[in-house]
Amino acid sequence: MEETRGSAICVLCLVVVAQSAFAGVSFSGDVTPDPTTTTSADNLMIGHSEAGAVTIDGGSRVDCGDAYINGPMASGGTLVVTGGGSVLMSDGVVLLRHGVMTISDGGYVYARSMFVVDDAVESTATVTGVGSVLENTSSLFAVGWTDRGELFIRDGGSVSSGGKGVIGSAADSEGTIVVEGIGSQWYHDNTVHVGKEGHGSLTIANGGSVHVGGHLWVGSTVGSVTSVGELAFVVGDDGVGTLTVDTDVKFWPGGKAILTLSAEPSVSFALGQSFDLMDWGGSFSGQFDTITLPELEPQWQWDTSRLYTDGIVTVAVPEPASVSMALLGGLVVLRRRLTHRRSGENSC
C-alpha cells in the first residue's frame, strides 16, 4: 500500500513539473502543432490558413525548428514572448510574413539560422523593455526582404544579429528599423546594407545605439533599379544616439542616399552644440544626395564641414566670409538706392 502511494505521488510530481514548464504558454486559432509539445525537430506554424496566436509567458519555453508567423491577407499570425525567462528557441528560421511579433519585459527569442520580417501588406516585430532580447547568429537578418517589414527596438530592448544584414532588399521592397531610447541597441556583427535594391530606412532616436561589425552600405543601383538608403537621427531629451561602424561607410554609385536629422518638440538647440552622428573605423567613401537638418535661429546655421571626416554636425554662426558677403550685398543695395535718389534729384 505504501509503495503504491509513493508511486502515485511520483507520477503526480511529474505531471505538475510537466505542466509548470508550459504553464505560461497559450494559443488560439490556427496554430500547428501544439506549441507545448514541439521540439527542435518540429516547425511551428502560427496563422497559416487563418489567424493564429501564441503567447509565451511566466518563464515558459517553447522549442521548435522553423517558426512561421504568417497568414493569409485577411488575417495573420501573432507571437508574444513576455516576462523574464520566457523563451522561444528556434533551431532554424523565424519568418514573419503578415505577422506580428512582440518581445517584452525580459522575453527572449532566438533564431539560429535566419530572421526575416517581410510581407506584401506589412509585418512588424517589436523588442521593448530592459532585458528583452532578439538574437540571430548566422546566415541572414532581413527587414523588408521582398515586400514590407518593420522592426522597432525600444525602451532598453536589444537585438543581436549576424550574417547578411539588409533593410529593403529586393526591388520595390521597403524595410524600416527604429532604435529608440537609452539602452536600446542593435548589434550586427557583419555588413549591413540600407537600401539594397529597395527602400531601406534606419532611424536612431533619443539615445539609441547601432553597431555594425562590418561595412555599412547606403543605397544601391542594380541594373535600372535605383534604391534609396536613409539614415535618420532624432534628437530627444536623452540625446541623439550613436551609429558605430567598425570598417567602412560606402555609397553605391547611382544609388540615392539620404541623411535626416530631426528633433522632438521639447528639444531646443544652443550655439556651439555638436552632434556626433556616426563613427567609423575605416574609410567614408561618397556622400549623401540629400541632407535635411532642423531649422535654427535666423542668426545661426548648421556647420557640416566635419560630417564626412568625423560624422559631426554643429550649430554655428555664419563664417566671416559669409557675413562679409552679406554686408557687401547690403552696401551694394544701399549704394544703388543713393545713386537712384541722386539721379532723381538731378532730373528735377
- Taking only the tens place, the pLDDT of each residue in 129-179 is 999 999 998 889 999 998 899 999 999 999 999 999 999 998 889 999 999
Residue 330 lies in a domain: yes
Instruction: Report the alpha-carbon angle 13-17-20, nearest 5.
Output: 135
Q: Which domain holds residue 331?
A: 318-348
Does position 348 have pLDDT exceeding 60, yes or no? no
* Average pLDDT estimate for 212-223: 86
- Which residues pair with residue 67 across a beta bridge? 44, 94
In whole angstroms, what is the distance from residue 145 CA to residue 200 CA?
10
Does position 11 have pLDDT exceeding 50, yes or no? no
Query: How many domains does the structure of the chain reveal?
Result: 1
- Which residues pair with residue 128 across a beta bridge? 104, 154
What is the structure's pLDDT at 98? 85
Residue 334 lies in a domain: yes
Residue 329 lies in a domain: yes
Residue 134 lies in a domain: no
Q: What is the DSSP string of 207-265?
A: T-EEEESS-EEE--EETTEE-EEEEEEEEBTTB--EEEESS-EEE-TT-EEEEEEEE-T
Residue 331 lies in a domain: yes
Residue 326 lies in a domain: yes
What is the structure's pLDDT at 253? 78
| pLDDT tens digits, one per residue of 256-270 | 999 999 999 999 999
pLDDT band, residue 335 (cuts 50/70/90): very low
- Predicted TM-score (pTM) of the model is 0.85
Does position 76 have pLDDT exceeding 50, yes or no? yes
What is the structure's pLDDT at 2? 45
Residue 332 lies in a domain: yes
Does position 74 have pLDDT exceeding 60, yes or no? no
